[in-house]
Structure 1
């Protein structure tokens, strides 16, 4: 594949040739590893690390850490990387005193990043992001004075003078970015940020030259591109992240998106990147339940109408998916953001055919986006080193020690992995016949199929590093003493909290723990009461009501022990029907929204909690609303403020929040009332004097299942021994 640039004008005229030379053709993913010639520069492959706001961008003293973060991904093979959003001015801040590029001091800080990337032949792009009404500060501005649902501040309507000055600010940021060594900039025009606010009728209610039809609404964005191209010159990459489907009321139709794409090409954009949905959209776009590559057909529709490269994005996390997108001609590049948090070496592993060793992004959002919206530094649930490259360091040891890890859940596997990576002699003991711990329950929840990948990753890494894994092994003091271990890491995890002796009827055969249900030990009837409305209660309710996925009593629990097995995930068409997203790539419905399909849940479920108030209030910020929407749309009856009286063969008796005794007639009861730590292996003071003991994960704290903390616990302890 090749490209040609017409350098006589501001418009990159790129011709794509779909043929691939056999010279240096990658044996595993030939299309993914074909260079892309942009005329004035060449991308060494088709994989781009997309923009993620880590929190490190906002303070100058963190730019050394940010440089190390990008260096790891550049070393790992990414052809091009895009920074988190950098504001062109104060009004564009995401947060007060957020990251900017508007002075010589900023240039010096950013040079640390570009030098780190260029050391490994990776192109470095700075994203210029003006937050508009999404900013979390009192200076916010927008196309119209309409408050957003995700910021407490009402924006001021931008005057024409203000708009023109902001165009100049974008151009100045691009010029300074070039001085800092960046190969280009990405202009953020999607996800509901300022330029998207002007592009869409959802916010733009103006009647002047910047409002009305799409030709007026796109004027601001087109002027920004023209100014950036004029200021930065021809030998500079300009990406524009274009919202190809808004997923909000009064959003653009595809004809309007195509009109904008053509205008951006004419204005001087080098590559069009894909944006999906606004942050305020009530359609999930990147959570784990969204099928892989669920939106690529919208990117493909844009590609039909422009001659410059287009880049696909959203829920692309494994090489087979990425290769198929390029090979089928749906896009010229693939952008992945969170997968580079999970594994900085994603590209090199794919290039070398080591797909089974990729630490796959499971799209949980718990340590990346959730942290961003809580004003914390981002990291990654499955890779705690992400954004902590200079602090959580896995140094090779000079004198290997014998390390025992007790427990094969994610905390134990994380500890064993890092200890072995550093050169220690590691033995991992697991009482059951399968590794994965609580992840084995999570992975069978419809929409959480990606959790299989984490278990697969650890199994393969432990084998690759020579960790001795002993399944079906109950550890005792004698075994540990015989092993001559210097360190014993106790990661025995948790067990479901038992209500026997606390609630009459819990010994009845129709009563079970979530572990018994999700491991296939027990099955349920057509009506079910779920006791406990935390994260596990919601997961169980989704498991019991979803129309996709296979029940364990149909599969047989044994199949879940096969590390190569993957359950059939919800199809893109089924998912779109459920969430009201058009199936037509050339959609003419505003924002690409349609009526949601009727849902007939497979069971009637009651989800019960003792505390009063909304169920699911403690779920994660960026994904909790998706779970709440699921249980609502699937007819789950939510009961708060209930006191449990007893369970009988008729069902479960509760005292409702009006103080009345009530029978819920159900066939089965599933208990999701928390967990208890398994800690009997921790020695008393004076025991096993030759070994140092460490307690991690659920064994250390069982308050609420927290894989993020468990994996980090394991890594930190192993990094320190």
Structure 2
């Protein structure tokens, strides 16, 4: 099915089973005090799933280069055994793995030390101003990279990748914005690329010609003052001349105001930069150096299209969080079972900048493989799951994967819960795919799904026939108590998503959390997926069609001071920016007074009492627990767990809901059976 991307390939002297690379992701497993057990289990499962090459999250070449306290230190002997364990675990599964060598530069998150960088240019990401590196520090840093590469080879890794993208140290030297030196390492394009090339030379000398060295570079920095396109391409040619065995092309800095990995970015939008690098290498006579395309490729079908178009390898990072078996399932023709990466960033990228373990909304086992082994029970039991939203679907999947017989009862006409609303939002179409994937997996595991089946006290005899249950009925919209709301044309967010024809031309959304933002985004966007060309044009990166004007006037008003509070930090700014660009009026710090037939009377942040006109008012003022089946579970006397919104609606996220569901399923399965009678 995938003759191009699944054909064998070679990077340097390293033969690979296919052209799919699992890109580097920092996991916050790297510095756990467990001897590398969790990290090894994570990578072993991805190797078992068929990735051609795995690239680890960055291993810092020095303490001053670490991105935070959770990074491994390749040159620290205390980290050696754990890293060696990772390489050995991957090899036992028949996989190949490269260690990424990393220096954060001005992005380093250090407690009591000043980060090092080409020049003393303040970083909005780290909130610090670094110190310009001295010539001796440049030499010692290049030596750190070299010793790190030598150490990686000794520890059993198959290759190394030098991290020179996403605004980290080596990337900083190339950009006029961050390299303001006037000495031998700055001042013009040739001197700006001197230090990264010195690092590559040092690494190549340290490991020899027969050990593959990949270089991850930036195809587009997407910041003002970043590396000019012609210099970026010339640098890639220089990488080939200095012995790089592959060029891995990334995009964007953490300070960029152009989204790069969020759901609002159409899949494959950044492939053009890898294609440009490939053309530059071929034109310079280095066509045998493979180019790796990366960023926002979340299906093997997309990877196949890129490989068919001439790109040598395709890097997919977060899709391997969502589904370690993405290659194996796709190769077997079971694409309906491939769990899609949603691009939500909540459990992965957002956590990677802190200390919490990286995981995945649709695969909460990710990063916890040792905590939740899926060993089939020798004594299968019967479990009921009440509710078929994300939490219920995950609980049912986890119980069935452990070999138990499971039945799911859902009051609605379809499974998915609030995912059925989210799938309508621009960029969130894969929330619908996730529902279908869960359903397909449950069918494969033999789970019975009962739709339009509400559980109540009359079902106590039914529930007594199970050995345990999970209550995952989710939430219902909280109704407002404002004067006039019952007489006005007011809808809940669920009603608005379900019946857009009921909405007028002027819509006022009360509440400014994630659901309100999603609803507003949906109301002002074309009701079709955005193309890559349209996205790039909107951000000034291509000449293409202008976005369609919004068909409605939308206002979002909330009492708090921040629109999108509670959303993941790497997503919020991108989506709120989309709302502003489409003319949505955002009001914060308001006091609601009354809903009228003409709109809502409120006092705004400036203290002005005014009417915000609206044909339709939609309330997204929070949620309440839906627990109506709970009395039946209690009366049945079976062990049960309550998860997700049914447990606590405050601060509810889908990440929390699915993680709770996984834990609940394993607790129920591990508990001693309750004797009947």
Please give the range of the TM-score, normalised by the shorter of the 2 chains: over 0.9
Say which of 641, 650, 675 aligns to 1:694.
641
User: What do residues 495-525 of structure 1 show as CA deviations (whole Å, max 9, x unaligned)?
Assistant: 10112xx122323462101101112275211
The alignment of Structure 1 onto Structure 2 pairs a total of residues equal to: 659
Say which of 276, 282, 293 aligns to 2:268.
293
In 1: Cα distance, 2:509 partner to 2:35 partner: 46
How far is the alpha carbon of 1:398 from its aligned partner?
1.8
In 1: Cα distance, 2:423 partner to 2:109 partner: 36
Say which of 83, 93, 99 aligns to 1:120.
93
Structure 1 residues 537-552: aligned runs within 5 Å: 537-546=516-525, 548-549=526-527
How far is the alpha carbon of 1:61 from its aligned partner?
3.2
Deviation larger for 621-630 or 651-660: 651-660
How far is the alpha carbon of 1:389 from its aligned partner?
0.7
In 2: Cα distance, 1:645 partner to 1:422 partner: 53
How far is the alpha carbon of 1:215 from its aligned partner?
1.1
8 Å Cα contact 1:578/1:599 also seen in 2: no
8 Å Cα contact 1:512/1:522 also seen in 2: no
In 2: Cα distance, 1:658 partner to 1:31 partner: 60
Structure 1 residues 300-315: aligned runs within 5 Å: 300-306=275-281, 307=287, 308-315=289-296
8 Å Cα contact 2:105/2:169 also seen in 1: yes
Partner of 2:559: 610
Structure 1 residues 651-670: aligned runs within 5 Å: 651-670=599-618
8 Å Cα contact 1:34/1:44 also seen in 2: yes
Partner of 2:75: 102
Partner of 1:714: 661
Partner of 1:327: 308
Partner of 2:330: 350
User: What do residues 400-452 of structure 1 show as CA deviations (whole Å, max 9, x unaligned)?
Assistant: 11111111101110111111111111111111111100001111011211211
Structure 1 residues 580-595: aligned runs within 5 Å: 580-582=540-542
Partner of 1:429: 409
Give the secondary structure class of the aligned counterpart of 1:57: coil
Say which of 535, 541, 545 aligns to 1:575.
535
8 Å Cα contact 1:362/1:451 also seen in 2: yes
Partner of 1:192: 167
Change (3 A) 1:92 1:659: closer
Give the secondary structure class of the aligned counterpart of 1:69: helix
Structure 1 residues 222-241: aligned runs within 5 Å: 222-241=197-216
8 Å Cα contact 1:59/1:98 also seen in 2: no
Partner of 1:143: 118
8 Å Cα contact 1:59/1:99 also seen in 2: no
Say which of 415, 425, 431 aligns to 1:451.
431
Tell whether 2:454 aligns with 1:498: no
Tell whether 2:374 aligns with 1:394: yes
Change (3 A) 1:128 1:686: closer
8 Å Cα contact 1:167/1:223 also seen in 2: yes
In 2: Cα distance, 1:685 partner to 1:409 partner: 18
Tell whether 2:160 aligns with 1:179: no
How far is the alpha carbon of 1:310 from its aligned partner?
0.4
8 Å Cα contact 1:697/1:709 also seen in 2: yes
How far is the alpha carbon of 1:478 from its aligned partner?
3.1
How far is the alpha carbon of 1:632 from its aligned partner?
1.6
Give the secondary structure class of the aligned counterpart of 2:205: helix
Change (3 A) 1:100 1:73: same
8 Å Cα contact 2:488/2:597 also seen in 1: no
Give the secondary structure class of the aligned counterpart of 1:683: helix
Change (3 A) 1:90 1:481: same
How far is the alpha carbon of 1:62 from its aligned partner?
5.3
Say which of 448, 461, 467 aligns to 1:481.
461
8 Å Cα contact 2:11/2:246 also seen in 1: no
Tell whether 2:344 aligns with 1:364: yes
Tell whether 2:502 aligns with 1:510: no
How far is the alpha carbon of 1:598 from its aligned partner?
7.6
User: What do residues 363-407 of structure 1 show as CA deviations (whole Å, max 9, x unaligned)?
Assistant: 100001111123221111111111111112233212211111111
Change (3 A) 1:696 1:97: closer
Partner of 1:15: none
Give the secondary structure class of the aligned counterpart of 2:636: coil
Give the secondary structure class of the aligned counterpart of 2:59: coil
Give the secondary structure class of the aligned counterpart of 1:622: helix
8 Å Cα contact 1:510/1:524 also seen in 2: no
Partner of 2:259: 284
Change (3 A) 1:486 1:408: same
Say which of 584, 589, 594 aligns to 1:646.
594
Give the secondary structure class of the aligned counterpart of 1:623: helix
Task: Tell me the TM-score normalised to structure 2 length.
Answer: 0.94
Say which of 6, 26, 32 aligns to 2:5.
32
User: What do residues 317-351 of structure 1 show as CA deviations (whole Å, max 9, x unaligned)?
Assistant: 1111011110111x111101111111111111111
Change (3 A) 1:663 1:38: closer
In 1: Cα distance, 2:270 partner to 2:460 partner: 52
In 1: Cα distance, 2:134 partner to 2:89 partner: 40
8 Å Cα contact 2:478/2:623 also seen in 1: yes
How far is the alpha carbon of 1:262 from its aligned partner?
0.9
In 1: Cα distance, 2:361 partner to 2:23 partner: 18
In 1: Cα distance, 2:260 partner to 2:71 partner: 26
Structure 1 residues 79-90: aligned runs within 5 Å: 79-90=52-63
Unaligned ranges ≥5, structure 2:
282-286, 669-677
User: What do residues 26-46 of structure 1 show as CA deviations (whole Å, max 9, x unaligned)?
Assistant: xx1111210013463311001
Change (3 A) 1:384 1:96: closer
- Supply the RMSD in Å over aligned alpha carbons: 1.8
Change (3 A) 1:400 1:636: same
Task: Tell me the TM-score normalised to structure 1 length.
Answer: 0.89
Partner of 1:679: 627
Tell whether 2:136 aligns with 1:161: yes
User: What do residues 595-630 of structure 1 show as CA deviations (whole Å, max 9, x unaligned)?
Assistant: x9687433221211123x232343211111112211
In 2: Cα distance, 1:295 partner to 1:191 partner: 13
Partner of 1:627: 575
In 2: Cα distance, 1:71 partner to 1:399 partner: 28
Give the secondary structure class of the aligned counterpart of 2:247: strand
Say which of 511, 516, 528 aligns to 1:532.
511
Partner of 1:245: 220
8 Å Cα contact 1:504/1:646 also seen in 2: yes
In 2: Cα distance, 1:686 partner to 1:652 partner: 43
In 2: Cα distance, 1:669 partner to 1:44 partner: 56
